[in-house]
Structure 1
Amino acid sequence: NICLLFSWATIVLLSLTRIPGRYLTHQEGLPKLPVPPLNQTCDRYLAVLEPIIESEELNQTRTLVEEFQRPGGVGERLQQGLERRAHKAENWLSDWWLQMAYLDYRMPVVIHSSPGVVLPRLEFSDRQGQIRYAAKLIAGVLDFKTMIDNETLPVEYLGGRPLCMSQYYRVLSSCRIPGIKSDSVVNYASNKTPPRHITVVHNFQFYVLDVYNSDCTPLTVDQLYVQLEKICNSSLQTNKEPVGILTSNHRNSWGKAYANLIRDKTNKESVRAIQKSIFTVCLDAPMPRASDDMYRTRAAVQMLHGGGSRWNSGNRWFDKTLQFIVGEDGACGLIYEHAPAEGPPIVALIDHVVEYTKKSDIVRTPMAPLPMPQKLCFNISPELKKDIEEAKQNMNIMVQDLDMKVHVFSYFGKNIPKSYKLSPDAFIQVALQLAYYRMYQHCCATYESASLRMFRLGRTDTIRSASVDSATFVRAMDDQSIQNSEKVALLEKAVKAHRAYTDMAIRGQAIDRHLLGLKLQAIEDLSALPDIFMDTSYAVANHYNLSTSQVPAKTDCVMCFGPVVPDGYGVCYNPMEEHINFAISAFNSCADTSATRLAHALEDALLDMKALLEQTPKAKL
């Protein structure tokens, strides 16, 4: 899993009226992703290893790094190759990253790669309420799509610099295609005849729903409601095999099953219709009831995996880039396939759609009859039936193994760190370091994603949250011999160090993608892999026991994803003004991890840090 979202500073939006070709002109005006200086990366690499590597191992790594960067050595040769690549390519990293982080990754996309988003709970009194909301949601997404189609989507700015908008143009009408050893992504939005339909799945059955009238205007909410009602009435009449659950399997297994599935002409046409659709809407059956305090956690697992083969896991096509989920019981959200985009474009779309659904219904007008949505048929051979059963079993194992906790930290939000002139994101990250240290008595490699969207086709780099300064603070925090005033100074230093690393990362000067580029350059050159990449320290540095991301939204929602290592945690958070939404995941198969324990430790850490600031004179600036 490489759940790569994005720690957001304040984003400024600038909307423009339609200018044909504005998107391309905007993109061409963005700078290229730089290749950082080799010596700078080597020095910073050693610095990030310090809090997570034993001193004896670190000394050995220092020797390897010195050898790697010596004048005329292998590092210099690879650096020159990377610089040549950067000169020729639009972005020296993006193709490599897409391939390595996503398309070559063979674990199931479910839990291991695709993030989910839990929206605020809705109350539907009946199935009509579910259908009504789904109709409004579809209309809201189509409204957002109009901005993409007309190139009037507001350009985003960070620190006065425009950001790359390409990810917004990749999430609609796109889909991942499985392969035996590697996958691919197709996008139909730029076709001469772009898709005019979405797919709706209810009771494990898929339907094509045309969402535009003959005059190219989108269907109204009323029209969509009528069409969705037809689908629900039709799908209740039969109970078919959950073909969609095949998409949840290990990518190699799914790749083989896919080749088998599309040998049949009917199946191939049905699959193509799903792949080409603008997006998918999953109308879910109600899940088992949960107490109010457990509701968000249960909704999170429903978004991530559907609850297992007994529930809604077959009511999905997990390869589809965007799947909006509307449960009969009011559980709503989405899951997205990660290859085309990071979290922020998805959240911007969600914010738009949620606002759209709050609009009052327009007065209803008489409607011309619309054709029945087309049901997609599948011919299930005995071999495919066996593949489906295997996918069901594997999904149920994954469901049992996921330990998820959605925790609403209600004591304070962004307001408290801001009142002390501290970065809220950095404050939360230092609290995570403190929580982890208290649980395990050591620091660990920590990933927080940083956006590279200041650069053309920019994706992400890593903010290394475990720093020398954060390690000094967390060790001092519970030491009774250290004065509170000194602890506050160490906390402020740790927060500032994190802020500085973040700024460095978003300007293309972090170490992780550069080191990866040097490694991939060596592989491309067919030369022996340099010793620093075979070193234990490199493996430890890339074993992220904490994989984290801040994904802020205006909507009171939270994104969630699985851990990236068997003994690790996935932590995603949305800091609101007066509370913070956390989604914490771990694996039950690891005896040493517990999402609930980390949630409690994190709450204690945040409260203790606040108390420290309050108890210390002159802490408030």
Structure 2
Amino acid sequence: MAEAHEAVAFSFTVGPEGFNVDVSYDVFKALIYSGARSWRLRCRRTLNSLYNSLYPGHPLRGIACCGLVSALYFNGYDPSFNIIDWLNSHVFQRYLAPKNAKIVACITFGAGVYIVLIQVRQYTLKKLFSYHGWMYQEHGKQVSLMPKIWAGLVRLCVGRNPSLYSCQNLLPTLPVPNLDDTLQRYLRSVRPLYDDEEYSRMEKLAEEFKHTIGRRLQRYLWLKWLISSNYVSDWWEKFVYLRGRSPIMVNSNFYGLDEICIRPTTIQAARAANITCSAFRYRSELEVQNVKPVMVQKVIPLCSSQYERQFNTVRIPGKDADKIIHYPDSHHIAVYHKGRWYKVFMYYQNNLLQPCELQLQLDEIIRDTTPPAYGEEHLAALTAGERTLWAEARETYFRSGVNRSSLEAIEKAAFILVLDDEEFEIGTCMTGKFDEYAHAILHGKGYDRWFDKSFNFIISKNAVFGFNVEHSWADAPISGHMVEYVLSEDLLYYGYDELGNTCGTPRFTALKPVKLKFTIPESCNAMIEKSLTQATKLYNDVDLHVYVQDAYGKGFMKKCKLSPDAYIQMALQLAHYRDSGHFNLTYEASMTRLFRDGRTETVRSCSIESSLWVKAMEDPAVTKAERIKLLRIACDYHQQQYRDAMTGKGIDRHLFCLYVISKFLGLDSPFLQQVLQEPWKLSTSQTPTLYDDKRLAKLVAEKPEVAEKIGWSQFKGVVGAGGGFGPVAADGYGVSYIITSEDLIFFHISSTKSSPETDSRRFGQRIYQAMQDMRDLFDGQSTSTHTSKK
């Protein structure tokens, strides 16, 4: 039981009558169950490691190979060409009986043959995965011979049913691009941004860089490539995320919203219990590696390394740099409600709690009227303000005693659950009431989220869900994958009774949540309030708007034979040009997970091709046919850039690493300084969907009555509103979008209120008009007649 953890396991006292021994058996049982779970996890991880090292083979096939070799040998057929006899006479007969020596020699030879075959197969797959010509095949056209041969070889060599990390050793290493190619692509990308004089200056800077320190920096980068699994990711995590001293709230953390068409319950504790138990089911799937790696075209695996730190992870502040701490296991969550913090245990006798059992604990927290201790209510504001201030407070006031133990309970939790005291009325998916909801999930009140944890689950008073994610440990698709699993489990696996409570009957007397205790001195509270002031100023300046595009979506774009992502990026280019009056450096996030330990790369959406099309849209003298032609050229070039970024031929990560090396060597480069200081006035990202269709179909088949009750078939599954992030530039926009169905797109637009150049609602209108104008180009080719609701 949870309250037993506060007791002492073993104690004794000496009195007039002798020794008095006091043993707490509940604590001993809890320790035994905890140890048993830890050993089971270790054993399972060891077996998974063995399986992964042999993939695409299997240990059972290795055993079969040894058995076949032995059977042939003892029946007079020597498949080893006398190698078994040599092993028998020169190695094993010295230590074993003759018959046993022959058996061991056969097993040794069989295992060796099988390992060699696996090594050859793994090497072949790694080389095959290094080929990316398949990505450059145009849709709708006949596939050329080379990609067909490649696809056949991959299907021949790849194994069945890979576990989450089976393919990690098969992934190629991210290549270092050619310096000349990177400089040429960079100059081409900035041509629309500069006039002739400024562009000529950048050409000279690039040429000077190439012929002075560029080659030297490139050689050092090759050395970095040789000694690391990924020459970018560790520096990206360290210098872009962990070295930052400004608040991570808004500036780094991102958010995601609930499923938008189905409201399963309005009872806060019930929804929180189902969501939490679903997350722990997902964690269990991760621990035993039952979650399948994401496979492109069902055969090419993406890197899964980012999943490792999803749970039990926290970012620890430092004076100069933060660090990420990942704990191998955690048996509890930390819960925040009305200024108070609680430790809630998720296991009873080594079994995960059922939602009905967890709901009892959460109900008790909600009913608790105990006021927060002095300084406790705003404590989490330390994680929302400047990092150096938080590091000083942590070092001074949380190193020992009750403060340390309570802080450890929060930091070592699997994740944070926030039982919010606000209500979010988003209704159906077209109500347009998302702005306040998105604000609340992105930053809350500045003190009611623990922004250092890998993620916070937020459940509103009327049971609307949202999540806030710390960015340094992984990128958005990893969290999105987890949340899609959690929402489908919440609706289809666990479900709710007729009153909206969790289903089932508790198996035992309710556990008790442990209220965490803090002793906050006046000087510490002053630091908390200072951090809250910083956070409040920051989030009050955020201008956040969610624009719902429901006039048409990817269905229309596909009919026009255009990539939906490229189409939307062109719409953003047109909208931003109309909003600012000129072209600006544009960031679109692309992934590099085709390579080991890959994270992201930048696609520079503002190009010569896109600028020509935008100018044509603003020129009434240009015909519709010419505009369509220019749009197709711009979309094709954008797709080319996206493929280049995914296959290791990006611009920005290469230049970033060269800049880091120049700083290590104490070398100044005007060119690299110019590149790294250029502001991203428009920062964009698409939120992908990663539904496991087979798993969803299985859940629906197992509980058809639940699926019918919540209208699963009507909405064809979970329809999320996506999520967003804060503005990257003080005078720019951050735009995240998710294509949720054939006729529905959500745009999450952020900017700062203090900038006279930006207005998020105005930019939403610009996007709406750009999308309308683009549809008008194809009049006669589509019958879309919907009207957009903003």
- Asked if these proteins are the same fold (TM beyond 0.5), I'd say yes
| Corresponding residue for residue 352 of structure 2 | 218
| Corresponding residue for residue 453 of structure 2 | 320
Which whole-Å CA distance do the structure 2 matches of 1:207 and 1:591 have between them?
43
Which whole-Å CA distance do the structure 2 matches of 1:363 and 1:406 have between them?
34
Residue type matched to 1:87 in 2? L
Alpha-carbon spacing, 1:58–1:452, altered in 2? closer, same or farther (3 Å): same
| Corresponding residue for residue 183 of structure 2 | 42
Q: SS where residue 570 of structure 1 aligns? A: strand
How far the C-alpha of 1:290 sits from its partner, in A, is 8.6
Residue type matched to 1:98 in 2? E
Match of 1:466 among 606, 621, 640: 606
| Corresponding residue for residue 69 of structure 1 | 210
Which whole-Å CA distance do the structure 1 matches of 2:626 and 2:362 have between them?
62
| Corresponding residue for residue 77 of structure 2 | none
Q: SS where residue 154 of structure 1 aligns? A: coil
Q: SS where residue 583 of structure 1 aligns? A: strand
Consecutive unaligned residues in structure 1, runs of 5 or more: 1-7
| Corresponding residue for residue 101 of structure 1 | 240
Percent identity for Structure 1 against Structure 2: 32
Residue type matched to 1:583 in 2? H
Match of 1:558 among 722, 726, 729: 722
| Corresponding residue for residue 85 of structure 1 | 224
Q: SS where residue 358 of structure 1 aligns? A: helix
Alpha-carbon spacing, 1:34–1:290, altered in 2? closer, same or farther (3 Å): closer
| Corresponding residue for residue 745 of structure 2 | 580
How far the C-alpha of 1:229 sits from its partner, in A, is 1.2
How far the C-alpha of 1:33 sits from its partner, in A, is 1.0
Which whole-Å CA distance do the structure 2 matches of 1:281 and 1:472 have between them?
49
Which whole-Å CA distance do the structure 2 matches of 1:168 and 1:15 have between them?
21
| Corresponding residue for residue 199 of structure 2 | 58
1:610-621 pair list within 5 angstroms: 610-614=775-779
Which whole-Å CA distance do the structure 2 matches of 1:520 and 1:319 have between them?
26
Residue type matched to 1:396 in 2? T
| Corresponding residue for residue 563 of structure 2 | 423
Is the Cα contact below 8 Å between 1:477 and 1:487 reproduced in 2? yes
Is the Cα contact below 8 Å between 1:484 and 1:616 reproduced in 2? no
| Corresponding residue for residue 367 of structure 2 | 233
Q: SS where residue 768 of structure 2 aligns? A: helix
- Deviations along 1:566-615, one digit per CA (max 9) or x if unpaired, are 10111000012211011101100101100001000001001110111225
How far the C-alpha of 1:419 sits from its partner, in A, is 1.1
The answer as to 2:280 corresponding to 1:154 is no
Q: SS where residue 249 of structure 2 aligns? A: coil
How far the C-alpha of 1:557 sits from its partner, in A, is 1.8
| Corresponding residue for residue 298 of structure 1 | 436
* TM-score (norm. length: structure 1): 0.90
Which whole-Å CA distance do the structure 2 matches of 1:590 and 1:315 have between them?
27
Aligned length: 585
How far the C-alpha of 1:368 sits from its partner, in A, is 1.1
Residue type matched to 1:506 in 2? M
Match of 2:482 among 327, 349, 360: 349
Match of 2:257 among 110, 115, 118: 118
| Corresponding residue for residue 572 of structure 2 | 432
Is the Cα contact below 8 Å between 1:174 and 1:321 reproduced in 2? yes
Which whole-Å CA distance do the structure 1 matches of 2:523 and 2:631 have between them?
60
Is the Cα contact below 8 Å between 1:299 and 1:331 reproduced in 2? no
Alpha-carbon spacing, 1:481–1:452, altered in 2? closer, same or farther (3 Å): same
| Corresponding residue for residue 709 of structure 2 | none
Which whole-Å CA distance do the structure 2 matches of 1:522 and 1:494 have between them?
35
Alpha-carbon spacing, 1:287–1:204, altered in 2? closer, same or farther (3 Å): same
Q: SS where residue 433 of structure 2 aligns? A: helix
Match of 2:385 among 239, 242, 249: 249
Alpha-carbon spacing, 1:483–1:366, altered in 2? closer, same or farther (3 Å): closer
Residue type matched to 2:361 in 1? Q
How far the C-alpha of 1:394 sits from its partner, in A, is 2.0
How far the C-alpha of 1:77 sits from its partner, in A, is 1.1
How far the C-alpha of 1:363 sits from its partner, in A, is 5.5
How far the C-alpha of 1:366 sits from its partner, in A, is 4.7
Alpha-carbon spacing, 1:288–1:489, altered in 2? closer, same or farther (3 Å): closer
| Corresponding residue for residue 468 of structure 2 | 335
* CA RMSD in angstroms, aligned pairs only: 2.3
| Corresponding residue for residue 732 of structure 2 | 568
Which whole-Å CA distance do the structure 1 matches of 2:609 and 2:247 have between them?
37
How far the C-alpha of 1:330 sits from its partner, in A, is 3.6
Is the Cα contact below 8 Å between 2:356 and 2:506 reproduced in 1? no
Which whole-Å CA distance do the structure 2 matches of 1:397 and 1:343 have between them?
26
Residue type matched to 1:357 in 2? D
How far the C-alpha of 1:338 sits from its partner, in A, is 0.2
Residue type matched to 1:559 in 2? G
Is the Cα contact below 8 Å between 1:132 and 1:225 reproduced in 2? yes
Which whole-Å CA distance do the structure 2 matches of 1:394 and 1:36 have between them?
41
- Deviations along 1:50-108, one digit per CA (max 9) or x if unpaired, are 011222111011112122223xx421111111011101111111110001111001111
Is the Cα contact below 8 Å between 1:124 and 1:329 reproduced in 2? no
How far the C-alpha of 1:209 sits from its partner, in A, is 1.2
Alpha-carbon spacing, 1:154–1:25, altered in 2? closer, same or farther (3 Å): closer
Is the Cα contact below 8 Å between 2:335 and 2:419 reproduced in 1? yes
Alpha-carbon spacing, 1:69–1:380, altered in 2? closer, same or farther (3 Å): same
Which whole-Å CA distance do the structure 1 matches of 2:263 and 2:285 have between them?
30
Which whole-Å CA distance do the structure 2 matches of 1:347 and 1:575 have between them?
14
Residue type matched to 1:66 in 2? E
- Deviations along 1:366-404, one digit per CA (max 9) or x if unpaired, are 521143121111111001111122122222212221101
Query: Which stretch shifts more, 582-591 or 47-56?
Result: 47-56
How far the C-alpha of 1:315 sits from its partner, in A, is 2.1
Q: SS where residue 574 of structure 2 aligns? A: helix
Q: SS where residue 294 of structure 2 aligns? A: strand
- Deviations along 1:305-324, one digit per CA (max 9) or x if unpaired, are 11x3xxxx322211011100
Alpha-carbon spacing, 1:254–1:448, altered in 2? closer, same or farther (3 Å): same
Which whole-Å CA distance do the structure 2 matches of 1:162 and 1:264 have between them?
46
Is the Cα contact below 8 Å between 1:290 and 1:298 reproduced in 2? no
| Corresponding residue for residue 661 of structure 2 | 521
Is the Cα contact below 8 Å between 1:461 and 1:512 reproduced in 2? yes
Q: Which has the higher contact order (CA 8 A, sep 6+)?
A: 1
Is the Cα contact below 8 Å between 1:124 and 1:328 reproduced in 2? no
Which whole-Å CA distance do the structure 1 matches of 2:322 and 2:773 have between them?
46
Match of 1:369 among 500, 509, 526: 509
Which whole-Å CA distance do the structure 2 matches of 1:363 and 1:301 have between them?
32
Which whole-Å CA distance do the structure 2 matches of 1:615 and 1:258 have between them?
64
Match of 2:401 among 245, 265, 268: 265
How far the C-alpha of 1:539 sits from its partner, in A, is 5.1
Consecutive unaligned residues in structure 2, runs of 5 or more: 1-134, 140-157, 497-501, 690-717, 783-790
Match of 1:145 among 283, 295, 301: 283
Alpha-carbon spacing, 1:266–1:208, altered in 2? closer, same or farther (3 Å): same
Which whole-Å CA distance do the structure 1 matches of 2:397 and 2:724 have between them?
31
Which whole-Å CA distance do the structure 1 matches of 2:525 and 2:160 have between them?
52
Which whole-Å CA distance do the structure 2 matches of 1:415 and 1:607 have between them?
15
* TM-score (norm. length: structure 2): 0.71
Q: SS where residue 51 of structure 1 aligns? A: helix
Match of 1:456 among 596, 616, 624: 596
Q: SS where residue 472 of structure 2 aligns? A: coil
| Corresponding residue for residue 444 of structure 1 | 584
Alpha-carbon spacing, 1:131–1:366, altered in 2? closer, same or farther (3 Å): closer
Residue type matched to 2:743 in 1? E
1:179-194 pair list within 5 angstroms: 179-189=318-328, 194=329
Alpha-carbon spacing, 1:142–1:462, altered in 2? closer, same or farther (3 Å): same
Is the Cα contact below 8 Å between 2:580 and 2:757 reproduced in 1? no
Residue type matched to 1:329 in 2? N
Q: SS where residue 69 of structure 1 aligns? A: helix
